[in-house]
Amino acid sequence: MSIEFLITSLIIVASPGPGVLYTLAAGLSRGARASLVASVACTLGIIPHMVAAITGVAALLHASAMAFNVLKYAGVAYLLYMAWKTLQEHGALTVEQDDEHKRAPRSVSQIVRAGLLTNLLNPKLSIFFFAFLPQFVSASDPAPLARMLELSLVFMAETLVVFALYGLFAASVRKHITSRPQILTWLRRTFAGAFVLLGLKLAAAER
């Protein structure tokens, strides 16, 4: 495992994006457990992109403007939906009350579904796997597919750890932030604006 791959992939994972933003929101709104669930869900959302890259489906997305654009605009629509939900009273940054455990099954399923969709509807992940991983696979490698799978799993492990750290940090400052309504309102607007900006950035993305 090259140090170049570890450092480069870590920088990519740690860079703010939809997954990081969603995990932070989960930590602030529902606490540490929810942030960890969100981290796992966002990490699992990478799997379809990884499989697509390894099996060659990413090549189709790269070559077909229609296929890429369909997935891209689905991702844009979802990010705008997340922005709208964040601004609602019961949106991403609504604080759970003490009866959280009573509603845990429903809350967990909602967190998992949203986390999966956050990364699933990001076509740039497929292009990332297709364009980035092969750079670290030697042409003389006797098992290139196994090597790509190994690198992909390392990338997923980094994603899980980094997202979990983001979420746990958000959960640790949750009480200080959520006890101040003005800060909470500002955070809702900031998160919503960030989702909109990410959606616009994705809409402008080219293959």
pLDDT at 91: 42
State residue 148's pLDDT score. Answer: 81
**H helices within the chain, ranges in order?**
3-14, 18-30, 32-44, 47-55, 57-63, 65-87, 104-120, 123-132, 144-172, 174-178, 181-203
pLDDT for 17 equals 78
Each domain of the chain, given as residue ranges in start order, spans: 17-203
Residue 132, Ramachandran bin (φ over 0: left; ψ between -120 and 50: alpha; else beta): alpha
Q: Does the pTM of the predicted model rise above 0.85?
A: no
Q: Tell me the mean pLDDT per 10 residues along the chain, length 207.
A: 78 79 86 92 90 69 67 73 67 44 58 85 71 68 80 92 93 77 70 76 69
Supply the pLDDT for residue 206.
Answer: 65
What integer pLDDT is reported at residue 207 of this predicted model?
A: 57
